[in-house]
Structure 1
Amino acid sequence: RYPFVIMLALPFAAIGVILILFLSGTIFTVVVYIGLIMLAGIVVNNGIVMISYINILRERGLALSEAVRMGARRRLRPILMTTFTTVFALLPMALGLGAGAEMWAPMARTVIGGLLSSFIFTLILVPTLYTILAGKKARGK
């Protein structure tokens, strides 16, 4: 159930990818697909960070709603730090600064666009879906 919740954040990352590639006039190339693979790993990692902490809180005896609320609040900082350090590190490459950056700029743009859209959905969608699925499991459905 919970891997499904984590994987549902990936389509929302695609929204940011499509938007940034459209706005920057970047076409889909092999380098963009490499960026998509990188992005998928980061987005899944952010979801795992959130879900695993919520599971730890539930094992400690917290109620579902309290564990989700506290887990989302406490994992906000690590997810934001991961997102923004990656975005800021890739910014020079995305802008085409430095030797060979023109080749790798589409990859950087892909990761940046996907991260900026997915972190919002990770912080909102993952806890919401977790609550829905865990609630159904607790009710025995």
Structure 2
Amino acid sequence: MIVRLGEEDRMRSESVGEVLISTPRGQVLPAANVLDLTPQTGPTQIERKNQQRITRVNAEIDAGIALGEAVATVQERLPQLDVPQGFSVGFGAEVEQQAEAFSQLQVLLILGVLLVYAVMASQYESLRDPFIVMFSVPVAAIGVVLALKLTSTSFSLQAYIGVIMLAGIVVSNAILLVDYTNVLRRRDGMPLREAVVLAGRTRLRPILMTTLATVLGLVPMSLGIGEGAELQAPMARVVIGGLLTSTLVTLVLVPSVYTVFEEGFSGLRRRAARASAE
């Protein structure tokens, strides 16, 4: 039930004090006799969330500034505000949805890396070779950071999707190196270091050509050329940066790690054989 003043009394503030109220003793008195009525400013509508009163403050973000960057700026300046006791400052549903999306993408990234490792483990029938190949994934993070810094791009949801794509793309170059090295050693009986060097020289051109083709194909998107490309530009920039860095470092890192692992395991096998012979 809603109680309202008559239409003719709503424009007069004195009408509130003239409202008759009943006391516990049965008396009927004007409200002005028992209330202290003073004009104050207040909200025209009271909004609640989780049974608590809230006031929304809306703002438009300038073009070129991502939501995450704006939120980070606001969070830096919040401690400077003199927030009264009993009040708190929070972010709206859009920020909460973005945080939830980031947490979901983080799970997808972990699952993607695990699935890539599982597929390679079943293909190689080994846990060691896939582990060596996966060394190329962290290296891609260097290129991601550099690409975002050089282009002044914030780490948005599209950029996170690009990172997930990189987890499956960057391992292809390392797979070419490791797989061909194994072929040279098993098929031709080539010594370890010679096989590693020959595999790097033989696979250098295919790796560079594949990487160059992928990067050139993503350049228009990274520049925001085309309809809707501006939204996908962070993803393309992340993929380009991670792929370039991973390719250049993988050509040196993966063969080195492969050699260290193989020589280490060979030494362990020789010591185990001598121990069993004794």
2:175 — aligned with what? 48
Q: Which amino acid aligns with 2:133?
A: I
Deviation of 1:94 after TM superposition, in Å, equals: 0.3
Q: Could you tell me how far apart the structure 2 residues matched to 1:111 and 1:51 are? A: 23
Instruction: Give SS of 1:78's match.
Output: helix
Residue equivalent to 1:6: 133
Structure 1: tracts of 5 or more residues without a match: none
Instruction: For residue 22 of structure 1, report the CA deviation from its aligned partner.
Output: 1.1
Q: TM-score, normalised by structure 2?
A: 0.50
Task: Give me the identity figure in percent.
Answer: 55
Return the match for 2:154 from 27, 35, 44.
27
Code of the aligned partner of 1:79 = I
| In structure 2, distance between residues paired with 1:59 and 1:8 | 23
Q: Alignment partner for residue 211 of structure 2, among 83, 89, 93? A: 83
Equivalent residue, structure 2, for 1:111: 239
* Residue matched to 1:36: 163
Determine the structure 2 residue equivalent to 1:137. 265
* Bigger relative CO (Cα 8 Å, ≥ 6 apart): 1
Between the two proteins, the alignment pairs up a number of residues equal to 141
Measured against aligned partners, the alpha-carbon deviations of 1:86-113 in whole angstroms (never above 9, x if no partner) come to 0000000001111111011000000000
Letter of the aligned partner of 1:22 in structure 2? K
Amino acid at match of 2:175: I
Q: Which structure has the greater CA radius of gyration?
A: 2
Shift of the alpha carbon at 1:114? 0.4
After TM superposition, which residue ranges in structure 1, 4 or more long, deviate above 2 angstroms?
A: none
Deviations 1:33-57 (A, max 9, x none): 1111111111111111110110001
2:37 — aligned with what? none
Which residue in 1 is equivalent to 2:185? Answer: 58
Give, in whole Å, the separation in 2 of the partners of 1:107 and 1:83: 16
Q: Distance in 2 between matches of 1:75 and 1:34?
A: 29
TM-score by structure 1 length? 0.96
Q: What's the RMSD between the two structures over aligned residues?
A: 1.0
**Is the partner of 2:170 in helix, strand or coil?**
helix
1:8 shift after superposition: 1.2
